Structure 1
Amino acid sequence: MSRLFQRSYIAFVHDVTMAAISLPAALYLRVGEGVVFYNPQNILFSVSVFTVIAAITFWVFGLYRGIWRYASLNDLMRIAKAVTVAVGVLFLVLFLTARLEWLPRSTPIIQWFLLMAMLGGSRLIYRVAKDKTTARAMVRQGTHRVPVLLIGAGDEAEAFIRETFRSANTPFDVIGIVSLTDSRVGRNMHGIDVLATADKLEEALGKLAKSKRGLPRRLVLTGDALRHDDITKWVEIADQHGMTLARLPKLSDLREGLADPLQIRPVAIEDLLGRPQARLDRDKVRQMIAGRRVLVTGAGGSIGSELVRQISAYGPASLTLLDAGEYNLYAIDMEMAEKYPNIPRESILGDVRDRTRIEQVFAEQQPEIVFHAAAYKHVPLVEHNPNEGILTNTLGTRNVAEACRSTGVGTMVLISTDKAVNPANVMGASKRLAECYCQALETLPADQRGPTRFVTVRFGNVLGSTGSVVPLFRRQLEAGGPLTVTDEGITRYFMTIAEAVELVLQAAELGKHGVTEGGKIFVLDMGRPVKIIDLARQMILLSGLRPGKDIDIKVTGLRPGEKLYEELFHDGEPPEPTETDGVMLAAPRVVDYALIKQVFEELGESAASRDTHKTLELMSRLVPEFQPPEIGVKSFFAKSEPEKLDKAASGQ
């Protein structure tokens, strides 16, 4: 007999015994010493019947799946249901057999409360005794616990404190809590005081320093504290007091069994965004993706590979992965083969620059939804190689868009960037031109555009993507520094890869309904911009080091084409809300399709012949904000050309 079965059997015997005792005890409480005048046969019959009823009921309700050591409110609710059913069945049996002539009517009610106390109380006593035994054992063994201060007084904090009392192996000792609101200050949670509000964190630390418990060694973020505006300030406070900053698992992870309540994790860089990560309406996205043929360009890149992962989870009819990089394509193909072997999949080597190859792939695969993520995005590299940027980012987008149009794709989603707003560099201008082309197609009459909806999604920097600042800082940290920042005042918008892709999928779902009519562009809400130098300091602090002492931060100066700050909207494109939080619409000016098609043909010739001067000149015509110093040409939107301006702005 296994130990688990033995314990369940003992608990079962205990509960049935309590059930047998409960009826005569309830009768005694009702009539006192008058119980001696009741017929023993009636009492014995009722006890026997109830014992059988209780044994069956308790087992059916699963009272022995729970562990007494961790008895909780859920266990109490299960006991209450089982006792209610058992007492109710007994009452019915006695009514049918003897019309309850000999039993006082209030006895079943008294029995219910009595049995609840006997079953629930025994579990509570066992748990309390076990906790005290554990605590004494830890004291005898000299177990040392790390003192921690919790930031946040919600459900995650309560679960963590409760588990620290239960577990003999926990290395943590909660010595206080600071709350995000005033309502819980001065109260306590399982005997742990809520000392102050989070904006008075340093004051609370001062009180602890003067107390017997002393300063905590860790500040631990819980619940909503992970989305609080002051999280970056807490990083610095922790460093000033020689503490580390950590976080608890999310309550949803605890409920789904994906995390241990006692698991304290390092604060990840995405926790410092200062806002909740956006989430999509998964049901609508599933309806869009499920059973459809989907193609992703740039499938091996940071955004493309995450698109492939999330799309696969929604059950497409088939998935085509297109990329020019052999290894990246191989890596995502192998990952999909392991995780989603039943989804029909084609991994195709091909460059979006190659119009013939793109047309061939589209003709063979016949995709219904296309996500165009293939692009060069490293600003300095594209700045020094402008023709390559145009060939991939701009003309590659044209090739994909025209292939979508000719094969009747339902929705094409172009992934753009905030650098396309008032572009100061070739990369931003090349993406703005790509936006212009898709906008021009979207504004064509339906009989010319065909069934395809051309959706453009614009967002900023993605944490952890290839070429972004976070992997650079990590490499520099591993090398011992310094961390390089181009300017102390430089700021950027940031998103995590997962939330960026989720909102791209949400925008695609909205776009298929014609929300982008007139050439509107989806812009993802990135929250507030983050200073890069602050990000560098926080990464140093989170690694357990001190900025300026252990690791230096070096200001290197702005690179060619780099702006101090990025914008999500042009001054002439005020944002409009959509039905989805985190997704807005912008209405930048639209260029006539015939005009942009003509200029793109010229761009193709100049970029292919590597005529950089001509390429930059043509770019500045269509994107008036982009004016390289060496190019002094008139824009298509210059005041000296009002006819072209009016024609382009009206989309004629």
Structure 2
Amino acid sequence: MFRSPVISRARVAFAHDTVMAALSFLLSLWLRLGSQQLRADWTPGNLALATGLFTLTAATVFLSLRLYRGVWRYASTTDLLALTRAATLTVLIFIPVLFLFTRLHDLPRSLLGINWFVLLALLGGPRFVYRVLRDRRLDLKLERQREESGARRIPVLLVGSGDGADLFIRATQQGDVQYRAVGILTAKKAQVGQGMHGVIILGLFDALEEVVAGLAAKGLAPERLVLTEEDFDGGLVRDLFDRADALGLPLARLPRLTDLKDGMADRMEIKPVAVEDLLGRPQTVLDRSGLTGLIAGKRVLVTGAGGSIGSELVRQISDCGPSLLLLAEASEFALYTIDQELGLRHPGLARLPLIADVRDRARITEIMAAHTPELVFHAAALKHVPMVEGNPLDGCLTNAVGTRIVADACIAHHVALMVLISTDKAVNPTNVMGASKRMAERYCQAMDMAGGGTRFVTVRFGNVLGSTGSVVPLFQKQLAAGGPITVTHPDMTRYFMTIREAVELVLQAATLGMQQAALYQGRIFVLDMGEPVKIVHLARQMIRLAGLRPDQDIAITFTGLRPGEKLFEEIFHGAEPPVPTGVGGILVAAVRASDQAAIAAALDRLEQACRSRDFAAAMTGLRALVPEYSGNAGRDI
């Protein structure tokens, strides 16, 4: 009962197309021959036979191509292509069929071309007219409903002239949406003055102020500035945010596909701009097949699996179908949390949560021997600069010695690939955290250069948004408490990247490292972090995102640099000139040669000093391994 209206409409459409096919043949003959010659050359019997054969051929083609699964009201270019295929096949099949009956006597050769155009027009024309009439009736109905309800639609100025703007405008014109587009800004000068569904492209991004003033003079002042593309550069978004704020315009964006949790009904509810939009960058197209090929069916171990980076590694690795996923984590609560999440995300995936500290050589060896992972992603680390400055021996033990323990175990148990997660703080370090990570880098580089069956890939990047203890969650907590927001120095800058993007690029770098081992042997992959962001500027923008005024509603105070902090971070050392990889978002640092045996001996001495709590010896060993280290950590207690 429910399906009968759909079936009857399909039958009506089929009957319509069949009649149009017959009319197209007759009309084509008349156009080609004229009335007098048509009556002279074609007997009624031959005309009926040819028309019948053409109609039968067309009907068979229409059914075989399943033209009636679409809805006329939503006819699109896809439907037009289907009709074109149908008309072409009909004419091509009709020729040999008619030849069998008439040997094509009295059939003008040009008739077939004429018939193709006429058939296509008679099939597509009614569909186009039907859609226009239905859309017009719907527009009038919605307009009457708005007038009766007194609903007012919010005028918005769109930023971007791509597919997002097209979808938004069509949705506002065809649906009960509370917004109406009054203009568009574009990045392409050639588009200025053109229109999109009746909405004019008024200027370039740089002309925001002039466009808003012009619209206001016409009584069309926008009340929102709406970003219509997902991949706007963070620098552009920050600039638009500041300029829109000066104009009193809230900056919003269209929802991303991942935001549509409640179905397509909420697709045109614009969202407030978030801090991720201010710091985001155009997304890199990833080699998904390469990632899946690296991980699918493999036994994979992730250390630090409950941390910010480690947990995202677990999520993305689990999506690639490993045969077994081992979660190694020192924190019971963090391990429990990611294990529970993974159970919901992939209930059928074989996984094993393991409480383990990378400083415990016996435990790491036990895990490797028992489960023989093929891939190891080493994310376990102590990463908070002030914490490690106050606890330098533990920082060295975890970040340097712990990495060495995992790397040695990989060699001993024939792991195919170990990926080390490093940091931009390892470049010209001024703190123990950065210096200890540089030691880890050096050891893995030396192991990779020495060969031995295991491939070592090191990936270095800067700050990630939303990680525990990072500046964005801190600012959000301070905002919620009513301020003040604390910034260490007015000139401090940092690189930022979302956790998801960082991990995607880590996996892409791992794939590159395995696929082109000889080319990238001993090199460090460095993620392109874009442009550094001034922290005080970020603080002010976050205050405005919350609807408050910097220095009036929320104070910003400068607390001074903390021990080990730098005003700015670097991602390459002077002796590591960057080299492109051919993959967007990923560079490689040139090799800084290291002797594996010498580094191993120095790490032995460092481990002995750390485990015996000999601070002076540990710092001496640290400076010997990382001569560019310029910090002055306090004595460990």
- Summarize the Cα distance change of 1:28–1:149 in structure 2 as closer, same or farther, 3 Å threshold: same
What letter matches 2:209 in structure 1?
Answer: E
Contact 1:493–1:526 (CA under 8 A) maintained in structure 2 = yes
Given the superposition, is the C-alpha separation of residues 628 and 90 from structure 1 closer, same or farther in structure 2, using an over 3 Å criterion? closer
Q: Counterparts of 1:156-195 in structure 2 under 5 Å?
A: 156-165=164-173, 167-195=174-202
Note if contact 1:383-1:561 (Cα within 8 Å) is conserved in structure 2: yes
Work out whether residues 239 and 546 of structure 1, in 8 Å CA contact, stay in contact via their aligned partners in 2.
no
3-state SS of 2:69 partner: coil
What is the one-letter code of the residue matched to 1:572? A
1:30 to 26, 29, 32: 32
Residue 161 of structure 2 corresponds to 153
Shift of the alpha carbon at 1:491? 0.7
Q: Secondary structure at the match of 2:216?
A: helix
**Gap change, CA 1:24 and 1:396, over 3 Å in 2:** same
**Aligned partners of 1:441 and 1:261: how far apart in 2?**
51
Encode CA deviations 1:473-530: one digit per residue, 9 max, x unaligned: 3333333433332222111111221221122223223334445877432222211111
CA contact (8 A) 1:387 1:610 kept: yes
Tell me the equivalent position of 1:93.
97
Inter-CA distance 109–280: structure 2 relative to 1 (3 Å threshold): closer
Query: Share of identical aligned residues, percent?
Result: 53
Q: 1:549 to 1:135 in 2, by over 3 A?
A: farther
2:146 is the alignment partner of 1:144 = no
Distance 1:330 1:252, change over 3 A: closer
Distance in 1 (CA, whole Å) between partners of 2:202 and 2:14 is 44
- For the 8 Å contact 1:152–1:224, the answer to whether it is kept is no
- Report SS of the residue matched to 1:230: helix
Aligned to 2:581: 578
Larger displacement relative to structure 2 (88-97 or 122-131) = 88-97
DSSP 3-state at the match of 2:574: coil
Q: What SS does the corresponding residue of 2:68 show, helix, strand or coil?
A: coil
- Give the aligned partner of residue 527 of structure 1: 530
Per-residue Cα deviation, 1:241-291 (whole angstroms, up to 9, x for no partner): 23222334679999xx99987454443433334632334333333333233
Kindly state the Cα deviation for residue 235 of structure 1 after the two structures are TM-superposed. 0.7
CA distance in 2, matches of 1:382, 1:458: 19
Residues 623-642 of structure 1 aligned to structure 2 (within 5 Å): 623-629=626-632
Distance change (3 Å), C-alpha of 1:368 and 1:56: same
Instruction: State whether structure 2 residue 407 is matched by structure 1 residue 401.
Output: yes
- Cα distance, 1:578–1:9 mapped onto 2, change above 3 Å: same
Q: Pick one of 561, 564, 574 that aligns with 1:561.
A: 564
Distance 1:53-1:316 versus aligned 2 partners, 3 A rule: same
Map of 1:439 onto structure 2: 445
| Residue identity matched to 1:144 | R
Deviations 1:148-200 (CA, angstroms, capped at 9, x unpaired): 222222233233333333x2223321211111021111222222211111111
Corresponding pairs, count: 624
The two structures, once aligned, show a CA RMSD in angstroms of: 2.9
The alpha-carbon distance between structure 1 residues 28 and 252, as it changes in their structure 2 partners (threshold 3 A), is farther
Q: Which shows bigger deviation, 319-328 or 541-550?
A: 541-550
CA offsets, 1:100-129, max 9 Å, x none?
A: 334444444333322322221212112211
Give the aligned partner of residue 309 of structure 1: 315
Which residue does the alignment assign to 2:51? 47
Matches of 1:189 and 1:265, distance apart in 2 = 22
Hey, what does 2:502 align to over in structure 1? Answer: 500
Name the CA distance, whole Å, in 2 between partners of 1:491 and 1:276: 20
**C-alpha distance 27-368 of structure 1, shift in aligned 2 (>3 A):** same
Q: CA deviation at 1:419?
A: 0.7
Would the aligned equivalents of 2:382 and 2:399 in 1 still touch at CA under 8 Å? yes
Give, in whole Å, the separation in 2 of the partners of 1:406 and 1:562.
37
Q: Distance in 2 between matches of 1:258 and 1:500?
A: 29
> SS of the residue aligned with 2:232?
helix
1:62 aligned partner, one-letter code: R
Partner of 1:424: helix, strand, or coil? coil
Question: Does the aligned pair in 2 maintain the 1:185–1:195 contact within 8 Å?
Answer: yes
Aligned to 2:483: 481
Compared CA separation, residues 84 and 228, structure 1 to 2 (3 A): farther
Q: Which moved more, 1:349-358 or 1:225-234?
A: 225-234
- Does 1:111 pair with 2:119? no
Matches of 1:517 and 1:158, distance apart in 2: 43
Which runs of 5 or more residues in structure 2 are unaligned? none
Which residue pairs with 1:510 in the alignment? 512
C-alpha distance in 2 between matches for 1:333 and 1:218: 42
State the alpha-carbon separation in 1 of the partners of residues 632 and 340 from structure 2.
Answer: 46
Equivalent residues in 2 for 1:209-608 (5 A)? 209-212=216-219, 214-223=220-229, 226-227=232-233, 229-248=235-254, 262=268, 264-273=270-279, 275-444=281-450, 446=451, 450-512=452-514, 513-515=516-518, 519-587=522-590, 589-608=592-611
Instruction: Give the TM-score of the pair, scaled to structure 2.
Output: 0.90
Kept in 2, the 8 Å contact 1:464–1:470? The answer is: yes
